[in-house]
C-alpha cells in the first residue's frame, strides 16, 4: 500500500492528536460563548467559572426588549438583497466568461481577480461620499450595494469554475432548437447549476451578513446590522456579557447552516480565487 500525502509526516496517533487539538482550539471559544449566553450576569463573571449551572434564557429575551430585533431585520434584508443582486449580475457574467475566448475574456477574469486584492479601505471613503451625495447613507440598499465589492467577484469566481464543467455542446443543441442566449442561460444552464447556485447563495449570504467595516461606516442608526450592534454593545461601559454573547450566538446561525450543508463546493468556495 502506497502512503498517501497526509501520511507522510503524521503517524496515525499523531494525526488524531493533531485533529483533536485543532478541534479543541476551534470549538472551545464557540462553546464558551454559548455557555456564557446561558448564564445570569453575575454567573458569567464568576472566577473560577461555574461549570454546573441552571441555564438561564434571560439574555435571549433581552435581545427583544433591548431593541436588537431591528439589527437582525436589517442584516437579513441587506444580506438577502445582496444575494439577489449578486446572482442577478454574477450568473450571466460568469456564463459569459466561460463562453468567451481570447484577450477580452482573459483581461476581464484578471480584473475580477484583482478586485479581490484591493484594500477595502480604498473604496470606503469614496463610497461614503457617493452614498452621502445620493442620500442613501444609513439605508439597507447602500450596504447591499457596497457588499457587491466583496460578493460579486466571489460569486463569479465560484460560478466560472463550475460553468466550465458544463459542456458547450448543450448550448449548441439548444441553439439548434431555436433558443436564444437568454433562453439557453435560463432554461439549460441555470437548472443544471441549481445546487451550485444554492451553495453560492449561502456563501454570499454569510459574507454579507458577517461584513462589518462597510456596514459600520455606511450606517448610523436605522440600518445598523448585527455585527455593528455587537461592536457598539461591546463598546459600552456597563458590560452585559451574557447579552453580547446571546446576540453573538444568534449571529452565528448562518455559520451553523454552513456547517450543516458542508458540501464540498461551499467549503472550497471560501477559498475561491485562491484555490483553483
Q: Select from 194, 206, 220, 72 the least CA-distant residue to 147.
A: 206
Q: Least distance from C-beta 251 to other proteins, angstroms?
A: 6
Comparison of 139 and 149: residue with beta carbon closer to other proteins: 149
Comparison of 48 and 167: residue with beta carbon closer to other proteins: 48
Q: Select from 154, 163, 84 the least CA-distant residue to 112.
A: 154
Distances (CA, A) of 264 to 31, 83, 166, 193: 25, 20, 18, 15
**How far is it, in rounded angstroms, from Cα 149 to Cα 112?**
10
Comparison of 21 and 69: residue with beta carbon closer to other proteins: 21
Q: Please provide the DSSP assignment of 119-155 as one string.
A: -HHHHHHHHHHHHHHTT-TTSHHHHHHHHHHHHHHHH
Distances (CA, A) of 112 to 90, 146, 183: 11, 16, 26
Comparison of 69 and 100: residue with beta carbon closer to other proteins: 100
Question: Packing angle between helix 226-234 and helix 241-251, nearest 10 degrees?
Answer: 160
**How far is it, in rounded angstroms, from Cα 84 to Cα 226?**
20
Comparison of 61 and 171: residue with beta carbon closer to other proteins: 171
Comparison of 61 and 114: residue with beta carbon closer to other proteins: 114
Comparison of 58 and 186: residue with beta carbon closer to other proteins: 186
Q: Least distance from C-beta 266 to other proteins, angstroms?
A: 8
Q: Least distance from C-beta 91 to other proteins, angstroms?
A: 9
**How far is it, in rounded angstroms, from Cα 54 to Cα 170?**
60
Q: Least distance from C-beta 100 to other proteins, angstroms?
A: 6
Q: Least distance from C-beta 80 to other proteins, angstroms?
A: 17
Q: Least distance from C-beta 233 to other proteins, angstroms?
A: 8
Q: Least distance from C-beta 54 to other proteins, angstroms?
A: 19
Q: Is the link from the previous residue into 153 a cis peptide, with omega within 30 of 0?
A: no
**How far is it, in rounded angstroms, from Cα 58 to Cα 96?**
52
Amino acid at each position: 500500500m502506497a502512503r498517501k500525502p497526509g501520511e507522510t509526516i503524521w503517524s496515525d496517533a499523531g494525526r488524531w492528536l493533531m485533529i483533536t487539538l485543532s478541534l479543541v482550539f476551534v470549538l472551545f471559544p464557540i462553546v464558551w460563548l454559548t455557555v456564557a449566553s446561558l448564564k445570569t450576569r453575575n454567573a458569567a463573571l464568576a472566577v473560577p467559572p461555574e461549570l454546573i449551572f441552571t441555564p438561564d434564557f434571560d439574555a435571549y429575551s433581552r435581545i427583544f426588549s433591548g431593541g436588537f430585533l431591528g439589527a437582525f431585520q436589517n442584516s437579513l434584508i441587506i444580506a438577502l438583497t445582496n444575494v439577489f443582486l449578486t446572482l442577478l449580475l454574477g450568473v450571466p457574467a460568469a456564463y459569459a466568461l466561460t463562453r468567451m475566448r481570447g484577450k477580452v475574456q482573459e483581461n476581464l477574469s484578471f480584473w475580477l481577480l484583482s478586485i479581490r486584492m484591493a484594500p477595502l479601505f480604498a473604496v470606503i471613503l469614496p463610497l461614503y461620499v457617493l452614498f452621502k451625495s445620493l442620500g442613501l447613507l444609513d439605508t439597507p440598499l447602500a450596504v447591499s450595494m457596497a457588499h457587491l465589492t466583496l460578493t460579486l467577484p466571489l460569486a463569479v469566481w465560484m460560478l466560472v469554475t463550475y460553468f466550465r464543467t458544463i459542456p458547450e455542446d448543450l448550448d449548441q443543441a439548444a441553439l439548434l432548437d431555436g433558443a436564444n442566449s437568454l433562453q439557453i442561460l435560463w432554461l439549460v444552464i441555470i437548472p443544471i447549476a441549481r445546487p451550485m447556485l444554492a451553495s453560492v447563495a449561502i456563501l454570499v449570504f454569510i459574507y454579507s451578513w458577517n461584513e462589518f467595516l462597510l456596514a459600520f461606516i455606511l450606517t448610523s442608526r436605522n440600518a445598523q446590522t448585527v455585527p455593528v450592534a455587537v461592536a457598539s454593545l461591546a463598546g459600552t461601559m456597563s458590560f452585559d456579557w451574557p447579552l453580547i454573547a446571546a446576540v453573538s450566538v444568534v449571529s452565528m446561525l448562518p455559520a451553523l447552516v454552513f456547517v450543516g450543508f458542508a458540501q464540498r463546493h461551499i467549503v472550497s468556495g471560501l477559498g475561491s480565487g485562491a484555490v483553483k
